[in-house]
Amino acid sequence: MTFLRVLAMILTAFCAAAVSPAQADDAALRGIIAKFAETGNYSQTRAIVAELAASGDPAVAGVLNALADGDVHVRTSDNQVFITKDAGKITRVFDPLTGEALGEEPKNLFEKVKVNNSLRRAVRDALSSLTLGSADPAKRLQAARTMFASPDAASIEALDAAIGKERDAGVKAALEAARAASVLISDLPDDEKRGAVERLGARADRETLSLLKAFAERSKGDLKAAAERAVSSIESGLAFWAAAQNVWYGVSLGSVLLLAAIGLAITFGVMGVINMAHGEMVMIGAYTTFLVQEVIRGTAPWLFDWSLAIALPLAFLAAGAVGLAIERGIIRFLYGRPLETLLATWGVSLVLQQTVRTIFGPTNREVGNPSWMSGSFQLGELAITWNRLWIVVFALAVFAALLYIFNRTAWGLQMRAVTANRRMAASMGIRTPWVDAFTFALGSGIAGIAGVALSQIDNVSPNLGQGYIIDSFMVVVFGGVGNLWGTLVGAFSLGILNKFLEPYAGAVLGKILVLVVIILFIQKRPRGLFALKGRAVEA
């Protein structure tokens, strides 16, 4: 009865998932079920089963399944129909439609609704027609997948019928896979099984792999060989997907690194200033998102899906303003003393962290995902979550925007001029102090919007920025400064390298290896991958 149980499982899942339109007919269904009390012979029972199946409501699965198991009983005192479970002297009673527990009663009050084998077959057909025959392709697909996961030789006929009727290619493939899986455990002739093995060999997932491996163990001769061939082809397919997954995780990590590092690259490239408080700008962006969401939750909950869009400019402005204040207040007095700038900005970062800790508390703050950022979708064997995908897209968008500012605007031209030759730029009339100030504000603002993105995948706590600062430095050092492309390449290659090392070396050791690789890399190219060419002599 595995098959029936599986179907019932699917059906109850549907019941829980959606309020089906047939729910309005609750009373009608109860009316049909009540007829079980009057049934005198098998054919009458069969008619009731057919009637239930005709209702098309998945809610009846429970009672049908119970009927096949001989668990439907009638209370003799008032002719009410229940699903029951034997528990020694007493019996547990459940509602036939909802499956709700109604208590315990003595056994002798109940009379069983009798079933025979032909009736069981009728029940099974009714159940499969409820799912495999459902009008909704998603339901059919779900049914096919569940049947694939727990194959049953008895279901081959029903599947054959369903395959014949199926129009949707995706559902059909799933049905065929389910059939093939069922064939493998059936006692059908070897030719059928060979076909099934070939059919399954075209898939590449772990479930099929374990299925075929189990089959290869118990089969003999060329059937075994065929199964083993299929296993190895699936394994190579899986290896491909594993690599694809590593690349995807690497790209995802790389986009996070890119967001965190690109602001740093700008300030470091243009001004030679190491901003140790950069991570705290990211944190400010994340807390801005938190505040925006708090306000929205309190005043206009319907705006929640827009909260990130609202938080983006605010985070940019907030972090940018703090950056401007730091530049005007501290850093401009320390130009030409990069090591001391590093120390002063470290002090700033301590102060900012402690400020946030005092205001918001040291614990993590809850930042919600808007609906369009939650959930995931399947690409082959790859589960891609929407928030990761959006962050990759967002990081690339930020990168493109910065590239535009750098290469196509007057401000960008000035920034590049100052980077190339500060004194010459100044003598051409560029106000280098203002370029410095706004470059710093821009870099900080970018960190702020990075914080908005990171609030979606990381804990929003006062230590948020600390976790990214060293990695960001590594990206900048690796990619080379003064060149946005260097940061892009640096971020993605470090991200992917990290994720490829992780399975072999573990997360921590992988990270250490990456750091060692960078330290060695600096030996070869002390100025990074994309060093600016110039005539400046190192001091």
Partner 1 sequence: MITRRLFAGGIDRRVLTVILLLLAAAVIVPVLHLAVPPSSPFHVPNYIVALTGKYLTYALLALALDLVWGFCGILSLGHGAFFALGGYAMGMYLMRQIGTRGVYGNPDLPDFMVFLNWKELPWYWYGFDQFWFAAIMIVLVPGALAFVFGWFAFRSRVTGVYLSIITQALTYALLLAFFRNDMGFGGNNGLTDFKDILGFNVQAPGTRAALFAASACALAFALAVTAFLTTSKFGKLMIAVRDAESRTRFIGWRPENVKLFAFVASAVMAGIAGALYVPQVGIINPGEFAPANSIEIVVWTAVGGRGTLVGPVIGALMVNGAKSWFTGVLPEFWLFALGGLFIAVTLFLPKGVVGAYDQWRRSRRDRAARKAGRPPAGEEPTPGTNDVQATPSSSVRSGPSSGGAEPQPAE
CA-nearest of 111, 7, 93 to 53 is 7
Each residue 441-480 as x (binds partner 1 by CB under 8 A) or -, in order, gives -----------------------------x--xx--x---
- The dihedral built from the CA positions of residue 283, 271, 397 and 243, taken in this order, carries a sign that is negative
The full 3-state SS of 176-196, as one line of letters, equals HHHHHHHHHHCCCCHHHHHHH
Minimum CB separation of residue 437 from partner 1 in Å reads: 11
Is residue 391 a contact residue for partner 1 (CB under 8 A)?
A: no
Minimum CB separation of residue 532 from partner 1 in Å reads: 6
Residue 250 to residues 390, 472, 477, 512: CA-CA distances in angstroms? 15, 15, 19, 16
What is d(CA 445, CA 416) in angstroms, rounded to the nearest whole number?
Answer: 19
Of the two residues 170 and 361, which places its CB atom closer to partner 1 in the complex?
Answer: 361
Is residue 349 a contact residue for partner 1 (CB under 8 A)?
A: yes
Minimum CB separation of residue 181 from partner 1 in Å reads: 41
Is residue 491 a contact residue for partner 1 (CB under 8 A)?
A: no
Minimum CB separation of residue 241 from partner 1 in Å reads: 29
Interface with partner 1 (CB under 8 A), residue from 272, 368, 412, 467 = 272
Is residue 361 a contact residue for partner 1 (CB under 8 A)?
A: no
Is residue 336 a contact residue for partner 1 (CB under 8 A)?
A: yes
| Helix segments in 274-421, DSSP class H | 278-299, 307-329, 338-360, 386-408, 410-420
How many chain residues are in contact with partner 1, going by CB under 8 A?
63
What is the CA angle 90-94-99, rounded to 5? 150
What is the CA angle 25-28-32, rounded to 5? 135
Interface with partner 1 (CB under 8 A), residue from 147, 348, 367, 488 = 348
Is residue 346 a contact residue for partner 1 (CB under 8 A)?
A: yes
What is the CA angle 314-258-476, rounded to 5? 115
Is residue 359 a contact residue for partner 1 (CB under 8 A)?
A: no
Is residue 338 a contact residue for partner 1 (CB under 8 A)?
A: yes
CA atoms lying within 13 Å on the CB side of residue 530: 16
Of the two residues 31 and 503, which places its CB atom closer to partner 1 in the complex?
Answer: 503
Interface with partner 1 (CB under 8 A), residue from 335, 386, 411, 500 = 335
Of the two residues 71 and 327, which places its CB atom closer to partner 1 in the complex?
Answer: 327
Interface with partner 1 (CB under 8 A), residue from 130, 180, 311, 518 = 518
Is residue 269 a contact residue for partner 1 (CB under 8 A)?
A: yes
Q: How many CB atoms lie within 10 A of CB 409?
A: 11
- Percent helix, strand and coil across the chain, each to the nearest 5: 75, 5, 20
Each residue 398-437 as x (binds partner 1 by CB under 8 A) or -, in order, gives --------------------xxx-x---------x---x-
Cβ-proximal residues to 222 (8 Å cutoff; 6+ apart), any chain: none
Q: Which residues pair with 75 in a beta bridge?
A: 80, 110
Is residue 516 a contact residue for partner 1 (CB under 8 A)?
A: yes
| Helix segments in 108-189, DSSP class H | 117-131, 137-149, 156-165, 169-185
Of the two residues 42 and 335, which places its CB atom closer to partner 1 in the complex?
Answer: 335
Token pair recorded at residue 214:
């189990």
Minimum CB separation of residue 182 from partner 1 in Å reads: 46
Interface with partner 1 (CB under 8 A), residue from 310, 325, 330, 384 = 330
Token pair recorded at residue 97:
């439609």
Binding site for partner 1 (CB under 8 A): 268-274, 330, 333-344, 346-351, 353-355, 357-358, 418-420, 422, 432, 436, 470, 473-474, 477, 481-482, 508-509, 511-512, 515-516, 518-520, 522-524, 526-527, 532, 534, 536-539
